[in-house]
Structure 1
């Protein structure tokens, strides 16, 4: 079992951890892999047929979708970070090592939404280990039933 403080040096190790989290929370998981500089989303400047980075490494990116509610997807980048989307709210630049803890907070019911009257706005708040939190602003118009049920 993985803890919130594990290190995932490769995209494949992180995908394995996400498969374990899906099993823990009885969720279906769908994974697609993009391998090579000409395939990964952040390597748009790669020349035609260029599969490796200038340093000779082969970048590996994965996109993971979890079934059930809330709708969650994770894009693991080769640069050791991730983009996690929860019910349409994009949470960019999540360190790869924080992804399992982030997902456990969301799937475990610890994530919540705060509301402000002035200026109006909402924030998705996801607690992380070590008294850290990730906050992401969202528009009221995209509040889904799941997000609305978490407003404090």
Structure 2
């Protein structure tokens, strides 16, 4: 199943608001708008608001309450960093962010231990054949991660 196109950071934030309502989660959003405000625009000059192409970059940081702790940093370049109970997923396409968060809060995400390479992995399956997998870097699993071990 294809993900709906989320052409802007704002549309992704709107989709996350709907998921927060669906799962009864508190949600806080911080917006950074303008080339001088967004985290990846280090090459922008002081007080430069527009990108070279005349666009106005918009970045948002979303914190969702509840368990697990989830934060989403949406970048103007159509990708995001999602952190689930301390486990960082980099370069998640913006179009996949709502399905990713829904998978985590909907109970589809799980933890799998491996002998080689050793460690615990947080696995987040999305509709279709899309799956995200990251190593849990902390030696101890959080209570939520422990409950998700398969």
- Common fold, TM-score beyond 0.5? yes
Deviation string 1:72-95 (CA, Å, 9 cap, x unpaired) is: 000010011110000000001111
> What is the distance in 2 between the residues matched to 1:4 and 1:105?
15
From 75, 83, 86, the equivalent of 2:84 is 86
> What is the distance in 1 between the residues matched to 2:59 and 2:143?
31
Deviation at 1:139, TM superposition (A): 2.2
Gaps of 5+ in 1: none
> What is the distance in 1 between the residues matched to 2:141 and 2:51?
40
| 4-13 or 99-108, which deviates more | 4-13
Number of positions where the alignment pairs a residue of Structure 1 with one of Structure 2: 150
Deviation string 1:21-71 (CA, Å, 9 cap, x unpaired) is: 000000010001000111001001211111111111110000000001000
Q: Map 1:111-122 to 2 at 5 A.
A: 111-122=109-120
Q: What is aligned with 1:16?
A: 14
> What is the distance in 2 between the residues matched to 1:72 and 1:56?
33
In structure 2, relative to structure 1, the CA distance for the partners of 1:36 and 1:149 (3 Å cut) is: same
Q: CA RMSD in A?
A: 1.4
- Contact between 2:2 and 2:128, CA under 8 Å: does it hold in 1? no
> What is the distance in 2 between the residues matched to 1:75 and 1:17?
14
Q: What is aligned with 2:62?
A: 64
Deviation at 1:122, TM superposition (A): 1.1
Deviation at 1:118, TM superposition (A): 3.3
- Contact between 1:88 and 1:142, CA under 8 Å: does it hold in 2? no
Runs of 4+ deviating beyond 6 Å: none
Equivalent position SS for 1:141: coil
